[in-house]
């Protein structure tokens, strides 16, 4: 097939990338054979991760692989950057089999065809990155003519064909794994640094495989930016369908980081696609030991095991003309000074279950109180609205924290400043509220069809608080947003969810999925999350801001794009990430990439503002964006040099100035 320009491809895309946007139905892909554990089709969502040991250290790699299998991995990936490592996969495999572990192994290949060809004869699957397998990336913007582009593609085909032949002969599967940060110069010159570029990058390789009648393929579209990652996977599915393909999807967010941030970011990206019914295998990339990744991936996947499908086979696929699932466009809403329109999504803190009797309580939602000065200090995680139910607080609240009070209680306390009445929709018709007053109106999606928007529109500052009782909540709420779009109703909407009987880990992952998926789709002017009493307000508040940050709709903290580490890593990533975090976590909005090696790090840290990249034992290279600014700095000085660089750019703030 001749290569095509972006506009031609985009014109063909209609936004049809899953079975239904309103009902749960897993998208059926073709079955792919990977050792004894097939993937795709009706098989469960498979879990996998990647070793961090030196591949030449057979015993360490075998023992880590076993720990990963015990923690839930169905497949284990091992890096094979050169022939030595590729050949050593045989020793690793033999030792694993000797110890009774038949786990399918995946060789991670980047640049070297000979390593890929050796590995494909040994392991059950190879992963190639079309951005750097034979193709090149030098961060140069080169203009390719059609002739040059096709000639380059032909050159790649010749180098790629031997690998495909070996995979066919040995029954080895292949993942075509595109990374947002490592698109080739050729792809960038025609399609840009875009989800479409990612999709085409993979499609070119898939077409080459199909032309050789090789179909044992899995595809991934990873990025450290959850929005980009979601758009690319969705677009890939439609692009594949247009060419009669249905390869299984390997889902992942690259360089997600560690701890709460890493889990939330992974869930926003992976969870959004799982809600759409997409995804056949998951790898969560955390800057933690790999055995901690599988339980997170498993928790994400397990949520769908018993999810009932209310999808009907004759259901027509519906997507509003105003909604584009391949771009982030926030739904247009009224500007209410506090929220809606261009304002960042607000966070509502639910204080209705605690007795409001002392100002220190508000430190949990971002208002640090000084008794000495009788003053609140706002942190970057200061909630915008506090729901207090029927309580009237026994102390003064900060001026910029609005109080949301149940309507009847509000009615009896109208002299209180800075309050908003919270009305159930059924109360609205008789409510005694001035038309210019802020009013938050609770609507359950079950009642959506009964809503009289003329009644709501009588209030110039009305905001919908949207809840649902449905299991497939994200899609149910999205369907409500579609109705608002179609009816041109521009009332701001705050999404409300209460979670019961969840562990902290589950809460992080499920809330990030439910809220994050809607925010990524451009829906929601705020979030209101609550949970059982055992989970503190501080935790809920932190998760709320984390979800907004991960969906890139409200930036309130420093972002760390740290690689999960692998056999190539040149320093202790966990320790270094913690050290950098401890000194820079007050730099709101700055993105810092922390990458274990120079081979893939610069490409994979994508849109980081600064990069800290391992170049050799004890040596670090520092980047400003994609530009090298300090080469081979000794590790002992590297964090100081990074801070100096941030300072030179005028982006440094002394921590003490913020804390005092």
Residues of this chain that interact with ligand SF4 (CB under 6 A) are: 563-566, 568-569, 595-597, 599-601, 604
CB 573, min distance to ligand SF4, A: 7
Q: Can you tell me whether residue 59 is helix, strand or coil?
A: helix
| Token digits of residue 128 | 């190639």
The residue to which tokens 């985009």 are assigned: 10
Q: Which of 366, 346, 364 lies closest to 496 in space, CA to CA?
A: 346
Which CB atom, from 464 or from 595, has the smaller least distance to ligand SF4? 595
Q: What are phi and psi of 178, to 5 degrees?
A: -85, 140
Which CB atom, from 105 or from 477, has the smaller least distance to ligand SF4? 105
| Token digits of residue 611 | 């990069």
Which CB atom, from 391 or from 577, has the smaller least distance to ligand SF4? 577
CB 614, min distance to ligand SF4, A: 7
Which CB atom, from 129 or from 542, has the smaller least distance to ligand SF4? 129
Alpha helices in 459-536 (DSSP H): 473-486, 504-520
Which CB atom, from 279 or from 596, has the smaller least distance to ligand SF4? 596
Which CB atom, from 40 or from 611, has the smaller least distance to ligand SF4? 611
| Token digits of residue 546 | 């984390």
The β-bridge relationship of strands 281-282 and 46-50 is parallel
The residue to which tokens 């500052």 are assigned: 461
CB 567, min distance to ligand SF4, A: 7
- CA distance linking residue 135 with residue 152, whole number of Å: 8
Instruction: Judge contact between 423 and 408, C-beta under 8 A.
Output: no
Which CB atom, from 287 or from 513, has the smaller least distance to ligand SF4? 287
Q: Provide the b/e sequence for 545-571 (b: ≥16 CB within 10 Å).
A: bbbbbbbbbbbbbbbbbbbbbbbbbbb
DSSP string, 517-578: HHHHTT--SEEEEEE-TTS-HHHHHHHHHHHHHHTTS---S-EEEE----TT--S-HHHHHH
CB 618, min distance to ligand SF4, A: 15
| Token digits of residue 140 | 């140069």
Alpha helices in 121-258 (DSSP H): 146-170, 185-191, 195-211, 226-242
CB 601, min distance to ligand SF4, A: 4
Which CB atom, from 428 or from 595, has the smaller least distance to ligand SF4? 595
CB 261, min distance to ligand SF4, A: 17
CB 137, min distance to ligand SF4, A: 14
Cα 467 to Cα 269, 339, 350, 402, 404: the distances in Å are: 22, 18, 14, 21, 17
Which CB atom, from 237 or from 580, has the smaller least distance to ligand SF4? 580
Which CB atom, from 127 or from 323, has the smaller least distance to ligand SF4? 127
Which CB atom, from 494 or from 599, has the smaller least distance to ligand SF4? 599
Residues contacting 250, CB < 8 A, separation 6+ = 48, 175, 177, 218, 219, 220, 280, 281, 282, 283
Which CB atom, from 231 or from 287, has the smaller least distance to ligand SF4? 287
Residue showing the smallest CB distance to ligand SF4 in the complex: 596
Residues contacting 620, CB < 8 A, separation 6+ = 571, 612, 613, 614, 632, 633, 634, 635, 638
Half-sphere exposure of 366 (CA within 13 A, CB side): 22
CB 110, min distance to ligand SF4, A: 7
CB 577, min distance to ligand SF4, A: 12
| Token digits of residue 623 | 């980047």
CB 109, min distance to ligand SF4, A: 11
Which CB atom, from 221 or from 563, has the smaller least distance to ligand SF4? 563
Q: Quick one: CA dihedral 267, 272, 276, 279, positive or negative?
A: negative
Q: Which of 380, 348, 377, 384 lies closest to 360 in space, CA to CA?
A: 377
CB 257, min distance to ligand SF4, A: 13
CB 594, min distance to ligand SF4, A: 9
CB 180, min distance to ligand SF4, A: 13
Q: Which of 631, 627, 632 lies closest to 138 in space, CA to CA?
A: 627
CB 71, min distance to ligand SF4, A: 19
Which CB atom, from 227 or from 565, has the smaller least distance to ligand SF4? 565
CB 570, min distance to ligand SF4, A: 7
Instruction: Judge contact between 396 and 359, C-beta under 8 A.
Output: yes
The residue to which tokens 């993979």 are assigned: 202
DSSP string, 608-630: -SEEEEEEETTEEEEEETTEEEE
Which CB atom, from 189 or from 225, has the smaller least distance to ligand SF4? 225
């Amino acid at each position: 097939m001749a290569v095509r320009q972006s506009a031609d491809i985009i014109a063909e895309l209609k936004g049809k990338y899953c079975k239904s946007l309103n009902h749960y139905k897993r998208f059926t892909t073709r079955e792919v054979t990977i050792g004894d554990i097939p993937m795709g089709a009706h098989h469960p969502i498979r879990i996998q991760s990647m070793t961090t040991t030196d591949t030449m250290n057979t015993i360490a790699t075998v023992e880590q692989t076993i720990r990963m299998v015990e923690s839930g991995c169905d497949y284990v990936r091992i890096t094979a950057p050169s022939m030595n490592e590729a050949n050593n996969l045989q020793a690793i495999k033999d030792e694993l089999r000797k110890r009774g572990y038949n786990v399918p192994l995946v060789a991670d290949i980047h640049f070297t065809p000979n390593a890929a060809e050796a590995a494909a004869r040994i392991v059950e699957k190879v992963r190639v990155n079309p951005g750097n397998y034979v193709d090149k990336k030098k961060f140069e913007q080169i203009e390719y003519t059609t002739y040059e582009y096709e000639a380059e593609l032909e050159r790649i085909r010749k180098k790629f064909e031997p690998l495909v032949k070996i995979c066919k002969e040995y029954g080895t599967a292949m993942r075509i794994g595109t990374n947002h940060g490592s698109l080739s110069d050729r792809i960038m010159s025609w399609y840009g640094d875009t989800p479409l570029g990612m999709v085409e990058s993979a499609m070119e390789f898939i077409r080459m495989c199909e032309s050789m009648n090789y179909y044992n393929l899995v595809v991934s579209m990873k990025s450290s930016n959850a929005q980009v990652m979601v758009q690319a996977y969705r677009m890939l599915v439609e692009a594949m369908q247009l060419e009669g393909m249905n390869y299984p999807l390997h889902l992942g967010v690259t360089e997600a980081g560690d701890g709460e941030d890493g889990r939330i970011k992974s869930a926003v990206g992976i969870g959004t696609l799982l809600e759409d019914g997409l995804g056949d295998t998951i790898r969560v990339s955390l800057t933690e030991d790999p055995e901690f990744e599988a339980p997170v991936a498993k928790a994400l996947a397990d949520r769908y095991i018993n999810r009932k499908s209310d999808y009907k086979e004759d259901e027509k696929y519906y997507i509003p003309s105003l909604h584009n699932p391949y771009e982030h466009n926030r739904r247009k809403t009224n500007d209410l000074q506090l929220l809606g329109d261009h304002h960042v999504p607000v966070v509502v803190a639910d204080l209705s279950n605690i007795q409001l009797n002392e100002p220190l309580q508000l430190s949990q939602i971002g208002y640090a109180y000084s008794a000495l000065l009788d003053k609140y200090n706002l942190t970057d995680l200061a909630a915008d609205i506090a729901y207090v139910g029927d309580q009237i607080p026994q102390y003064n609240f900060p001026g910029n924290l609005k109080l949301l009070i149940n309507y009847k209680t509000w009615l009896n306390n109208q002299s209180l400043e800075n309050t908003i009445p919270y009305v159930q929709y059924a109360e609205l018709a008789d409510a005694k509220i001035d038309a210019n007053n802020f009013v938050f109106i609770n609507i359950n999606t079950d009642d959506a069809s009964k809503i009289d928007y003329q009644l709501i529109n009588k209030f110039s500052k009305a905001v919908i608080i949207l809840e649902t009782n449905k299991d497939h909540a994200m899609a149910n709420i999205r369907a409500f947003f579609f109705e608002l779009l179609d009816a041109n109703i521009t009332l701001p909407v705050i999404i409300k969810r209460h979670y019961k009987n969840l562990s902290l880990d589950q809460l992080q992952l499920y809330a990030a999925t439910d809220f994050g998926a809607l925010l990524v789709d451009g829906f929601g002017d705020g979030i209101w999350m609550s949970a059982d009493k055992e989970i503190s307000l501080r935790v809920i508040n932190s998760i709320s801001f984390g979800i907004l940050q991960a969906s890139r709709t409200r930036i309130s903290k420093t972002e760390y794009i740290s690689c999960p580490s692998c056999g190539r890593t040149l320093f202790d990533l966990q320790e270094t990430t913690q050290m950098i975090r401890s000194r820079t976590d007050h730099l709101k909005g700055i993105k810092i990439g922390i990458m274990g090696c120079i081979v893939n790090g610069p490409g994979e840290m994508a849109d980081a503002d600064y990069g800290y990249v391992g170049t050799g034992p004890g040596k670090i290279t520092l980047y400003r964006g994609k530009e090298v600014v300090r080469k081979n700095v000794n590790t002992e000085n590297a964090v100081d040099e990074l801070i100096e660089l941030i300072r030179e750019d005028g982006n440094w703030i002394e921590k003490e100035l913020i804390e005092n």
